[in-house]
């Protein structure tokens, strides 16, 4: 079984993913890291080629990986992977692929949009990518409800990564017993 951890940037996907993979004895694949290794720095790529081009290239990287026939892997997917604006045909394809390939877990800090926004924007600004607070707030708030419509399992927590990973693992194991 493949696991796909999805959600906006700054929710802890890349921090919790390796822990979940380790607990399950699965391989860990971070789509952002794969993009960086195969294509280059995401920010530079977007600056040079545009966000739309990035979305398509990121999709190609994802399908290159999954076409290898991997099983028992935990993937962390890019923040916009399921909610690219004005690219519904691409996000629809991604959503269908996730259903066919495994179980998807949406990770958000809280059910409360205001609390989630504050937590995520604070984390994103600390990353040092030169992000603008107003733009990050707007993007997160726009995507918050879209992500709640995605996924097989929903985890709402801003606890320590090990505790979140334990919660994810518990829900995955509970879900597979159904």
Tens digits of residue pLDDT in 142-154: 889 999 999 999 9
Position 176 in a domain: no
Tens digits of residue pLDDT in 128-177: 556 677 887 888 888 899 999 999 999 999 999 999 999 999 999 987 76
Position 89 in a domain: yes
Q: What is the CATH number of the domain that holds 104?
A: 3.40.50.300
Report whether 108 contacts 144 (CB < 8 A): yes
Reported as type and span, the H/E element at residue 151 is none
Q: Is this structure's pTM higher than 0.85?
A: yes
Instruction: Identify the domain containing residue 26 by its residue range.
Output: 2-166
Residue with tokens 């398509």: 56
What is the C-alpha separation between 123 and 127, in angstroms, rounded?
A: 7
Residue 111 carries which DSSP code? S
Position 18 in a domain: yes
Instruction: Give the phi and the psi of residue 3 in degrees, each rounded to 5.
Output: -120, 135
Position 103 in a domain: yes
Number of independent structural domains in the chain = 1
Report whether 77 contacts 62 (CB < 8 A): yes
């Amino acid at each position: 079984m493949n696991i796909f951890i999805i959600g906006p940037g700054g929710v802890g996907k890349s921090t919790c993913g390796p822990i979940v993979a380790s607990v399950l004895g699965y391989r860990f694949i971070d789509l952002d890291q794969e993009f960086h290794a195969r294509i280059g720095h995401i920010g530079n790529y977007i600056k040079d080629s545009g966000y739309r081009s990035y979305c398509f290239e990121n999709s190609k990287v994802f399908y290159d990986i999954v076409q290898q026939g991997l099983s028992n892997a935990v993937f962390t997917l890019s923040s916009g992977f399921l909610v690219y604006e004005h690219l519904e045909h691409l996000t629809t394809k991604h959503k269908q692929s996730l259903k066919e390939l495994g179980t998807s877990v949406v990770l958000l800090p809280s059910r409360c949009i205001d609390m989630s926004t504050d937590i995520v924007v604070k984390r994103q600004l600390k990353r040092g990518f030169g992000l603008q607070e107003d733009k990050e707030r707007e993007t997160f708030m726009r995507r918050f409800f879209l992500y709640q419509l995605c996924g097989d399992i929903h985890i709402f927590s801003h606890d320590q990564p090990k505790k979140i990973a334990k919660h994810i693992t518990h829900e995955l194991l509970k879900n597979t017993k159904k």
